[in-house]
Structure 1
Amino acid sequence: MTKSLDQLRRDAKALGKAVADGDKGARLRVQGILTDPKQGSYKHADFLHVIARETGFATWPALKLAVETEGMDRAQKQGRLRWALYNGSPMTVNHLLREDPSLPEGQVPLLVALYDVEGMREILARDPDAATRDYPPRRPMCHLAFSKHIKSQPEKQADMLAMADLLLAHGANVNDSFPSAPDTDHRLSALYGAIGHADNPALARWLLEHGADPNDNESLYHSTECGHVESLRLLLTHGANPMGTNALPRAIDFDNTEMVRLLLEHGANPNEGSSPHPSGEPTLVIPALHQAARRLASAEIAQLLLQHGADPSARNRGHTPYAFARVFGNTAVAEVLEQAGARTDLTVPEEILVRAADGTNSTHDRIDMQQIPEEMKYLLCRLVWREGTLAHMQRLVAMGFDPNSPDEMGMPPLHLAGWEGMTEVMAYFLEQSPDLDHINEYGGTLLSTIVHGSENCPQRHRRDHIECARMALERGVELPQKAATYATVPEMSAFLADWAESHPSQVVVHGVV
């Protein structure tokens, strides 16, 4: 590599200036790679892309990664490779291995996470204890289970399972786990890694068939987040007990009738109250009918819960399911409850909140936040992630709700909207004088929360996290220097890199990424 990043960036700026000045040659260079811009003119990111392509790379992030890693020593590259396998950044994995295929040699965590069976077998021939030794923060079975390499290399499934067999034959434990954080007793199992972290049903099946405990306080709950029922069905078939896991309320979050039916058929109790989460975080869950009401679930799910014994008139957190349905604007569930003979009486504060949901409130309607139950104080935070609720939230703010009040985990509506990638909702809350430097209980800033959402939000493929990041940056939030490097979604990485180029004064050396 002969040019530095600064030189490459200057090349992109020079190309942009030449195009703006009408230089025919420059325009031909760009048009040879890009189609005409959809809105007016090319952006700086477009010129960075052209420079990358002319340099032999598919994208600017790929070129940037190549330049950044060129100066790394071998240990740094191995550390970066471990990070990429755990977090699911195939571009980084491919680049590092293409530059130096020998990086995994002698490195147990890398050999395991890459499914290099022969390389691991050679190590075990010399050192049989390598299969059970701690390679912080995990032992080999968990390095295997938490590797996301299978997502980009599905053809290596046989090698992955052969690696699992090899580790087991040398004493590895299928129920292995490690602390979720250095200062906690809460542990994450290999089974959770396969299901909740890597979405790897094939390895999950292998673990269960070889004796992994399906009741690890994490896997069943997170299996409902995968977007498919395979892992959930697998766990239930191997004896997972839904009681006390909060899996049923989580399945209701996604309005997934098939998951709800499976859980109920395998013993989930729709009247079960909130169970403390083993990590210590608030669970935010309530009995299933209340959950269906406040998550705007379908009438079909409400009927399914009632068929399995859900109490239509139970009070929880100060409200009946019917009151929840009306306050949250879930008319479909409210109608089902009425037909089931549920209690339909409302308190005075509930009646005011119902008018906000229905859009029948008057200018005289005000809510005394001191007079409503604790759950209703979080109403904005409960609504913000559901599409079509913006007008409802605006009415609540007009009635006295604080638009910047956070939920139990310190997530204000603005952070929640950003994590969800909901641009219109985020734009509204940006106008409500928020604290742009607020750090939530997860340790996230507004920008890092948006980036995390771009990688983890279940609806991320139909939302616009890049636009949310743009809105936050336009308001002046700091951009950590390493944000683009550690963003695993290529488009987000490219956007952040471009912003850093165009707004160098906004870049800070340190910061949450």
Structure 2
Amino acid sequence: MSDTSLDKLRLDAKLLHRAWIAREPWAVGRVRQHPPRKDLTNLVRADFLFIIAQENGFASWPRLKAEAERTGLDRAARLQRLKVALAHGQVDLAESLLAETPDLPDGLFGLECALYRRAAVEQALAARPELAVQQLGPRTPILHLSFSRWIHKCPELEGDMLAIADLLVEHGADVNDGLPGPDGHRLSALYGAIGHADNMALGEWLLDHGADPNDGESLYHATELGHHGGLRLLLAAGATPEGTNALFRAMDFNDHVAVGMLLEAYSGIEDLNRGAITALHHAARRGCDRRMAEMLLDAGADPERRWQDTHPLAFAKVYGNAQVAAALEARGVICDLSREEALLVRAAEGLDSPGDCVDPDRLAEPYRNIVREILHLPDRLDHLQRLIAIGLPFDAADAHGVTPVQIAGWEGLPETMGWLLSLRPDLGHVNGYGGTLLSTILHGSENNPARADRDHEACLRLALEAGVALPRHVITATGRSDLRQFLSDWAEARPGQVV
């Protein structure tokens, strides 16, 4: 590696430092995405070197520098991108990197496990059996294997994948191994296989070899897969929905089959009527249909149980869920509406209220963020516009710091996002996950369960046309090849927007 390459990164850090001092929006966004420390006052050059390292996939500047000096900056950067791509399930990007540099993972045991390189794994374990239980980066080998989505690119390697699992366990690997998640929850190998990788073959193997189905994550995420294979495996192995949010997550997709399976697995009905939200309130705000509401009522959901001072029927009407409201009214449920609820119901029913506005101080807490809560539901743009007209905020962040325009981008809804952009939201906002508007759209393009039917490219175009900066490192880190090409073409046509 030439010193010029590292010098270029040092110069990037210097320029970022200057832009941060000047409070350039693009610099503020980059610092907030990769904060070097909690206190962002009096940042020094080392802090900006840290940010540059983070943007290139390295844990620290010394780690980047060491790898660059060992293998060359270009190869080191490619290797980091491969590691991140496999860890995040970006199989298209991983395939592209391997096509360019086929020997990139050679001798790296964790990557060889993740890529199902059976012969290489056998050879490495024969020489060094202790590799099976060693920490390789943030993960042990069985976690590299279980979190890999490579099976979707190479399904013909299923036999090799399971043979590697056998080898690792034979050499001491723990099928209940896990790693800490971003919210403090432990992410098990079983969650990696079923919930993250949608790898039913490996999930079944792990359960057959003693993996705990009640790991706090797998059952919840099995509801997001668009099929019921993971749920069936977990429930058959003894998973219990009590104490999890699996039922409520299945309701997010109005999935009657999954909800029915989970209700049958409950030993009681307490979860329907208590906790962060009741089941009927959740069904109303997630756009569930009448059949779903009736399933919940038949299972014991209380139609009179209030949540944060809101009645289920009033809540359904405020959220514009006529079907859930109809199910409740068919069972004789009635309730009075407050002035604020009446205004919100008018908006939901397609009626304007000229001259009237809601009083924020009288608004029940669950209604304060209704704009963010309903914007992903079908055909809600007119409803959203009427809510804004009576005084609801259009740019308020939710509990995770995510704003409505970011949600519209994550959902891949260009029409809704375009309208929100016309209201001039804060384009430099960084949410609680460290995401900007641009990175949130890209995250949704790879992780939103409905991504196949959405248009994330159009949302990217809207964001870029609105003037958001395009960090160069984002282009190479994008998992979808079509969006990588779109961003590359944009950067070539508008180099002044690239930072």
* Common fold by TM > 0.5: yes
2 CA distance for matches of 1:366 and 1:130?
Answer: 65
SS at match of 2:187: strand
Distance 1:204 1:371, change over 3 A: same
Matched pairs, number: 429
TM superposition score normalised by structure 1: 0.80
Q: Which has the higher contact order (CA 8 A, sep 6+)?
A: 2
1 CA distance for matches of 2:414 and 2:96?
Answer: 33
2 CA distance for matches of 1:441 and 1:225?
Answer: 22
After TM superposition, give the deviation of residue 90 of structure 1 in Å.
3.6
8 A Cα contact 1:381 1:413, kept in partner: yes
The residue number in structure 1 matching 2:16 is none
Alignment of 1:454-473 (within 5 A): 454-473=445-464
Q: Which amino acid aligns with 2:368?
A: K
Matched, 1:198 2:189: no
Q: Which amino acid aligns with 1:302?
A: A
Q: Which amino acid aligns with 1:465?
A: H
1 CA distance for matches of 2:414 and 2:78?
Answer: 37
The residue number in structure 1 matching 2:208 is 209
8 A Cα contact 1:404 1:434, kept in partner: yes
Q: Which amino acid aligns with 2:88?
A: N
The residue number in structure 1 matching 2:112 is 111
The residue number in structure 2 matching 1:142 is 143
2 CA distance for matches of 1:362 and 1:101?
Answer: 64
2 CA distance for matches of 1:268 and 1:466?
Answer: 45
Distance 1:351 1:485, change over 3 A: same
After superposition, the CA RMSD in angstroms is 1.9
SS at match of 1:499: helix
Distance 1:450 1:185, change over 3 A: closer
Distance 1:229 1:355, change over 3 A: same
Alignment of 1:74-473 (within 5 A): 74-181=75-182, 185-267=184-266, 271-272=270-271, 286-473=277-464
SS at match of 1:501: helix
1 CA distance for matches of 2:249 and 2:345?
Answer: 25
Q: Which amino acid aligns with 1:368?
A: D
After TM superposition, give the deviation of residue 329 of structure 1 in Å.
0.8
2 CA distance for matches of 1:343 and 1:213?
Answer: 45
1 CA distance for matches of 2:407 and 2:186?
Answer: 26
1 CA distance for matches of 2:324 and 2:370?
Answer: 18
Aligned identity (percent) is 49
Distance 1:94 1:359, change over 3 A: closer
Q: CA offsets, 1:121-176, max 9 Å, x none?
A: 11111211110000010001100011111111111111111111111111100000
Which of 462, 476, 491 is the matching residue for 2:482? 491
After TM superposition, give the deviation of residue 409 of structure 1 in Å.
0.9
2 CA distance for matches of 1:195 and 1:253?
Answer: 19
Q: Which amino acid aligns with 1:397?
A: I
Distance 1:100 1:450, change over 3 A: closer
Moved over 6 A (4+): 273-276
Distance 1:154 1:98, change over 3 A: same
SS at match of 1:482: helix
After TM superposition, give the deviation of residue 221 of structure 1 in Å.
0.9
After TM superposition, give the deviation of residue 384 of structure 1 in Å.
1.0
8 A Cα contact 2:93 2:480, kept in partner: no
SS at match of 1:178: strand
Q: Which amino acid aligns with 2:139?
A: R
Q: Which amino acid aligns with 2:430?
A: I
SS at match of 2:83: helix
Q: CA offsets, 1:183-214, max 9 Å, x none?
A: x7532111111122111111111111111111
Alignment gaps of 5+ in structure 1: 1-69, 277-284, 509-513
8 A Cα contact 1:248 1:268, kept in partner: no
Q: Which amino acid aligns with 2:117?
A: D
After TM superposition, give the deviation of residue 332 of structure 1 in Å.
1.0
Q: CA offsets, 1:279-306, max 9 Å, x none?
A: xxxxxx5111111111110111111111
8 A Cα contact 2:251 2:288, kept in partner: yes
1 CA distance for matches of 2:274 and 2:495?
Answer: 47
Alignment gaps of 5+ in structure 2: 1-70
2 CA distance for matches of 1:194 and 1:275?
Answer: 31
2 CA distance for matches of 1:146 and 1:336?
Answer: 42
Distance 1:325 1:185, change over 3 A: closer
8 A Cα contact 1:298 1:332, kept in partner: yes
After TM superposition, give the deviation of residue 82 of structure 1 in Å.
2.3
Alignment of 1:495-510 (within 5 A): 495-508=486-499
Q: Which amino acid aligns with 1:391?
A: D
Q: Which amino acid aligns with 2:407?
A: L
8 A Cα contact 2:272 2:278, kept in partner: yes
2 CA distance for matches of 1:382 and 1:463?
Answer: 18
SS at match of 1:366: coil
SS at match of 2:123: helix
1 CA distance for matches of 2:312 and 2:416?
Answer: 27
Higher helix share: 2
After TM superposition, give the deviation of residue 271 of structure 1 in Å.
4.8
2 CA distance for matches of 1:275 and 1:456?
Answer: 30
SS at match of 1:252: helix
Distance 1:104 1:275, change over 3 A: farther
Deviates more, 1:360-369 or 1:123-132: 360-369
Distance 1:187 1:275, change over 3 A: farther
1 CA distance for matches of 2:454 and 2:297?
Answer: 33
Q: Which amino acid aligns with 2:435?
A: G
After TM superposition, give the deviation of residue 500 of structure 1 in Å.
0.5
Q: CA offsets, 1:83-107, max 9 Å, x none?
A: 2322334444334444544433321
After TM superposition, give the deviation of residue 235 of structure 1 in Å.
1.0
8 A Cα contact 2:272 2:301, kept in partner: no
Distance 1:94 1:119, change over 3 A: same
SS at match of 1:385: coil
